[in-house]
Chain A
Amino acid sequence: MSNQVIVDADRCKGCGICPSVCPKGCLRIGTEINLQGYEHVEVVPGSVCIACGMCVLACPEPRALTIVKHTEEEKSCTSA
């Protein structure tokens, strides 16, 4: 099981910063519009997040992004 990128769409202002810092191309600005009227960010299907945390660090909005990191153990458990 890979790391999970959770986007709280209504907390995103679609500024495009997180896609610009993700080393793995996991994020992109989508076409859907959120409650505030912003085209919010979405996870690129099939991308693999390495839980580097750069998107969370760079994003100006509190709680727009959360990364759920799966440890090696958990990974091997689920794959076993």
Chain B
Amino acid sequence: MEQIKTSDVLYEEFFRKDGDKKITHYCPGCGHGTIQKMIAQAIEDLGIQDRVVFLSPVGCSVFSYYYFDTGNIQCSHGRAPAVGTAFKRVHEDSIVISYQGDGDLAGIGTAEIIHAANRGENMSVFFINNATYGMTGGQMAPTTLLEEKTLTSPFGRDRKRDGAPIKMAEMIATLDEPVLVSRVAVSSTKEMLKTKKMIYKALKNQVDNLGFSFVEILSACPTSWHVSPVEARVHIDETLSTVFPLGTFVDKADTVLPYGPSLFPFLSGEDFLVAIVEGGELAECEQAPLKDELAIMVAGFGGQGVLSGGVSLANAAIAHQLQVSWLPSYGPEMRGGKASVTVVMSPDEVSSPLAEDIDCLIALNSPSLTAYEHMVKPSGTILVNSSLIDHEPERDDVTVHHVPASDLAKEAGLPQATALVMISAYIHYSQVLTIDSLIESLHLGLKKKSLIGKNRELILKTVEILVSK
């Protein structure tokens, strides 16, 4: 005895907070219910229930996770393709379904869908075009028909003022990467059968690893359209589909090569470091005798070499086989504005590049000392650029060193190496890293390789002065 019934991929009962456990929250005759039943059936037919991650949008279908007995993520408005991209790239075996309305996909989320399509992300997108913002009460959507009266177009959609209905399937079809782009409708029996097949095909493509499939589905919203459910489905065939023609715009399933990871080599560990550090080999020094994480902040203004000095410090730490993060913070101006960088070094993985308490503050100007000295841990260190700072730190529970960094840098003709002078001093006083490692990493951080020699001299000079102090 065979049964024709709803797929068990949809839960038997729906545990919505308030609401009946047997019925959906959709209005009577809403297209969402019919489409979601079709998707559930295709999931069952393909045997992929335990691999599916269903992305619910913001819109009337926001509660899809109450219905689909699959993995679920409820995404921010319009962002499902971005969420899906991340999920699919990390969990390659998952089947990602991005289910989105026209406000969601063709309004607030236009950028996300275009770029996911253009990258050919290996996912299946079902775009529910009901020509309105259903959830919020029937406002004009980018897909609303011309002259259509809605809450926000009470006299009808005006082409001059509001533009024309946006045709997403046609737009997506102009891109090179999508494998399937089609528009179907949940209207007559004939069209529903085609829709059912197209939903299956879009999911099958993903199972076969073919790439990005996009199915636009014209769907009834009897509530916003102010017609009966049966009339709404007739309206799709008679009116909506004349503006949004049904058909398949792209179908490369038989010709496209299976979706694969990037052809560029995936680098990790040492290879990765060498590839991203422009300019050559990393220096190799003994493992630094560091037990706990150290956070050092260098702060001053643009032009003092704050960020590049931080890079040199980070590279010296890498040379000593430490894990390092480098987190810059600067204003929009290239020069003269505030600039700071936090370098965290650790014998193990860095817990966070953002440090609330720091072990050492390297203050290159007076405002930086005032702004950040409270962040230094008790018994921490503050290095003061005595060329520019004429007041003492307020803190009396820390060690303070004075270094005339700007003067030394200026004398050497390298004002942009002020931070480097201070970092040399930090290394000298802290003894966590070595001056050699700083010098041998200079070529990695300096854009002008011809200045390596002068910078080396400046570092050595700084140390000489500090030793003789």
- Residue in chain B with minimal CB distance to A5: B4
- A30 near B: Cβ within 8 Å? no
- A47 near B: Cβ within 8 Å? no
The answer to whether B23 touches A67 (Cβ under 8 A) is: no
Chain B residues near A17 (CB-CB < 8 A): 29, 229-230, 233
Interface string of B1-41 (1 = CB under 8 A from A): 11111100010100000001011101011111110011010
The answer to whether B29 touches A13 (Cβ under 8 A) is: yes
- A2 near B: Cβ within 8 Å? no
- B192 near A: Cβ within 8 Å? yes
Known: A69-B4, A74-B1. A54 touches B189 (CB 8 A): yes
- Determine chain B's interface SS by DSSP, over half rule: mixed
The answer to whether A60 touches B32 (Cβ under 8 A) is: yes
* CA of A76 to CA of B4, assembled, Å: 21
Known: A20-B230, A54-B189. A63 touches B4 (CB 8 A): no
The answer to whether B189 touches A58 (Cβ under 8 A) is: yes
Known: A36-B20, A66-B4. A60 touches B189 (CB 8 A): no
- B228 near A: Cβ within 8 Å? yes
* CA of A74 to CA of B1, assembled, Å: 8
- A10 near B: Cβ within 8 Å? yes
Q: Which of A51, A60, A63, A67 contacts B29 (CB 8 A)?
A: A60
* CA of A35 to CA of B20, assembled, Å: 10
The answer to whether A16 touches B22 (Cβ under 8 A) is: no
- B196 near A: Cβ within 8 Å? yes
Q: How far is the CB of A39 from chain B (nearest CB, A)?
A: 10
Q: How far is the CB of A62 from chain B (nearest CB, A)?
A: 5
The answer to whether B34 touches A59 (Cβ under 8 A) is: yes
Q: How far is the CB of B134 from chain A (nearest CB, A)?
A: 13
The answer to whether A15 touches B28 (Cβ under 8 A) is: yes
Chain A residues near B24 (CB-CB < 8 A): 60-62
Chain A residues near B126 (CB-CB < 8 A): none
Interface string of A1-31 (1 = CB under 8 A from B): 0000000101101111100110000000000
The answer to whether A11 touches B23 (Cβ under 8 A) is: yes
Known: A13-B29, A51-B4. A60 touches B34 (CB 8 A): yes
Chain B residues near A10 (CB-CB < 8 A): 22-23
- Residue in chain B with minimal CB distance to A56: B4
The answer to whether B196 touches A57 (Cβ under 8 A) is: yes
Chain B residues near A68 (CB-CB < 8 A): 1-3
- B67 near A: Cβ within 8 Å? yes
Q: Which of B2, B3, B28 contacts A14 (CB 8 A)?
A: B28
The answer to whether A13 touches B28 (Cβ under 8 A) is: yes
The answer to whether A16 touches B229 (Cβ under 8 A) is: yes
The answer to whether B6 touches A57 (Cβ under 8 A) is: no
Chain B residues near A74 (CB-CB < 8 A): 1
* CA of A56 to CA of B7, assembled, Å: 10
Chain A residues near B1 (CB-CB < 8 A): 68-71, 74
- Residue in chain B with minimal CB distance to A71: B2
The answer to whether A21 touches B189 (Cβ under 8 A) is: yes
Which residue of B23, B40, B192, B230 has the most chain A CB atoms within 10 A of its CB atom? B23
Q: Which of B6, B32, B37, B229 contacts A15 (CB 8 A)?
A: B229
- Residue in chain B with minimal CB distance to A14: B28
Known: A13-B29, A15-B29, A38-B28. A63 touches B5 (CB 8 A): yes
* CA of A35 to CA of B222, assembled, Å: 22
In the A-B complex, list the 3 residue pairs whose CB atoms are closest, starting with the nearest: A60-B33, A15-B29, A13-B28
Known A13-B29, A56-B6, A71-B1; 7 more pairs at CB < 8 Å:
A15-B28, A15-B222, A17-B230, A36-B23, A62-B10, A62-B24, A65-B5
- What are 19 A-B contacts with C-beta separation under 8 Å? A8-B22, A10-B23, A15-B222, A16-B29, A17-B230, A36-B23, A56-B5, A56-B6, A57-B193, A60-B24, A60-B28, A60-B29, A61-B33, A62-B33, A63-B12, A63-B22, A66-B3, A69-B4, A71-B2
